[in-house]
Amino acid sequence: MTDENKKVRVRFAPSPTGRLHVGGARTAIYNWAFARAMGGDFILRIEDTDPERSTEENVQVILNAMKWLGLDWDEGPEVGGGAGPYFQTQRMDTYAEALERLRKRGSVYPCFCTKEELDAKRAKAEAEEGGYAGYDRTCRDLDPAEAVARIEAGEPHVWRLRVPEGRGAIEFDDAVYGHVSFPAEVMDDMIVVRTDGSPTYNFAVVCDDANMGVTHVIRGDDHLSNTPRQILIYEALGFDVPTFAHLSMILGPDGKKLSKRHGAASVEEFFERGYLPDAMVNFLALLGWSLDGETTLIDRETLCREFSLERVTKKDAVFDETKLDWMNGQYIKDMGANAWVQASTPWLFRAHAGVAADGELTCEARDAAAADLSARPDFYLGLYPLVAERLVRLDEIPAKLAFMFWGPEVRELDEKSVAKVLKKEGARADEALAACRTVLADEDRAWKAAPLEEACRALSEKLDMKLKLVLQPLRVAVCGNMVSPPLFESIELLERADVLARIDHVTKEVFGG
Ligand code: GLU
């Protein structure tokens, strides 16, 4: 086990074979928070040894996702560090050195059995009673001189770990699972280096973790069955075995392993759907860890101060999107206007261009929106209080706020609202709208929400109409819809001339007047 006084060093080791998914993101968060809480180092290592499935693009996507989540790493790609390089493909010499070390210690042997021979043996064993019990160790006791001669003659071979004779069960104390024991049957003389000289996954991981001084391996429990094999490799190399902490699965609400079927699965998609990184980190941190069993809103500082492996549960966690939505709404409510405008830029630009949340923005539209944002920052900041209380996700912004960018036109007049409000039998909507227009046109009144609202409300008595029948037509005329953010706060942010023009436009279109 590790020396208690050693500086904590942990790593997140994604394989760039796809995007960063929810499970991986949680693993990254736990490693990061644990490093911060323990005053240790957080290493990012890219496990790109699978040449067919690893891509440069995926590396970038993963790094971007980590940055978006705000998980800064102390060592790794882009930042470097004393234990680099941090891409496995650049560490081949270290695996060769480790193999050499194992050879010197007599802990590995070359195996010349061909795939065909191994397959035949396996098939035969599987047909017999008892089944296949692993490699039959044919090459384990080859005469060393013969083995060297065959290698020198260029005969293809792999290197296998010589599991010590009589090695019993492999046991370790997992920081999450507790005491774990694997029976002796898993102690196959596993391959550590393949015919082409490449390290197997288990070998590369152990070499890297040992060479990088990793003290705690925190990873998904899909790796639990690799752990006994890795422990054997540590022992063979004569290195300290780190502490392991395996994280339970994340399930969808249907109890099945979380996947694409359950909606968004990659960090990128959560960004695209308008979730905030702070909310994501908070939410994912609670999928298996708790501060005190009840607190749900936990900021980064608290997480980085309080995180501990003791409070990680081995129970499977359930991904509850309703809770995530609620949490995101809470973060939006608390983030303040400046941060909101910054985080919402992609959606504010779409609202400006009249494009849907998932629609493409042309370069011209983006440039025009950017110019508008820098020309009138206060307008944008002013949009925040209109929606801060109700927004669940930022991608609702285009639908909710497009009307604020229409200028004098009503670009989308909701038919249902027209029928239910403006054309409602006996509702006198035309009269109400005309009266509101007069109020709004009065230049003596301050263009502020409160006095405008007060004056329009007073019309209810004057016209002897229900308040709702006075105000709803105005809402539809200005916002194009009977559902909108607070009406007078919205009006205050718009230009008087634009508001009047919208009323005129709708009056003409609906009442022909
Ligand atoms: N590269 C492995 C994966 O992406 C992780 C290995 C580990 O954490 O030990 O699943």
C-alpha 46/C-alpha 13 separation (Å) is: 6
Residue 312 in contact with residue 303, Cβ under 8 Å? no
CA of 146 to the centre of ligand 1 (A): 37
Of 290, 321, 352, which residue sits at a domain end? 321
Q: 310 and 228, same structural domain?
A: no
- Within a domain: residue 30? yes
User: Which residue is catalytic, options 7, 67, 260, 323?
Assistant: 260
Which atom number of ligand 1 is nearest to the Cα of residue 24? Answer: 4
Is the confidence at residue 1, as pLDDT, over 50? no
C-alpha distances out from residue 379 to 240, 266, 357, 417, 493, Å = 60, 33, 20, 27, 7
- Within a domain: residue 62? yes
Residue 427 in contact with residue 469, Cβ under 8 Å? yes
Of 384, 405, 426, which residue sits at a domain end? 405
Q: Whose CA is nearest to atom 5 of ligand 1?
A: 13
CA of 397 to the centre of ligand 1 (A): 37
23 contact partners, CB below 8 Å, separation of at least 6: 220, 249, 250, 258
CATH of the domain at 434: 1.10.10.350
Write out pLDDT tens, residues 117-136.
999 988 998 888 778 878 98
CA of 124 to the centre of ligand 1 (A): 33
Ligand 1: which residues within 6 Å by Cβ?
A: 13-15, 47, 205, 219, 223
Helix axes 337-353, 377-387, angle to 10 degrees: 100
Report the phi/psi class of residue 198: left, alpha or beta, with left for phi > 0 and alpha for psi in -120 to 50.
beta
Better pLDDT: 431 or 260: 431
Is the confidence at residue 2, as pLDDT, over 60? no
Write out pLDDT tens, residues 433-447.
999 999 999 999 999
Task: Name the pLDDT band for 185 (thresholds 50, 70, 90).
Answer: confident
CATH of the domain at 108: 3.40.50.620
Give the pLDDT confidence score for residue 3 in this predicted structure.
56
- Within a domain: residue 389? yes
Q: 96 and 168, same structural domain?
A: yes
State the sign of the Cα–Cα–Cα–Cα dihedral 443, 449, 455, 460. Answer: positive
Give the pLDDT confidence score for residue 513 in this predicted structure.
64
Q: Whose CA is nearest to atom 6 of ligand 1?
A: 13
User: 0.75 cut: is pTM over it?
Assistant: yes
Range of the domain at 488: 415-511
C-alpha distances out from residue 329 to 179, 344, 394, 396, Å = 40, 13, 9, 11
CA of 223 to the centre of ligand 1 (A): 7
Residue 445 in contact with residue 439, Cβ under 8 Å? yes
Of 225, 247, 269, which residue sits at a domain end? 247
In the chain, the number of structural domains is 4
Q: 216 and 100, same structural domain?
A: yes
C-alpha 357/C-alpha 441 separation (Å) is: 34
Give the pLDDT confidence score for residue 6 in this predicted structure.
87
Q: 261 and 177, same structural domain?
A: no
Q: 266 and 202, same structural domain?
A: no
402 contact partners, CB below 8 Å, separation of at least 6: 351, 354, 411, 412
466 is catalytic: no
Residue 490 in contact with residue 400, Cβ under 8 Å? no
Q: 95 and 243, same structural domain?
A: yes
Q: 84 and 23, same structural domain?
A: yes
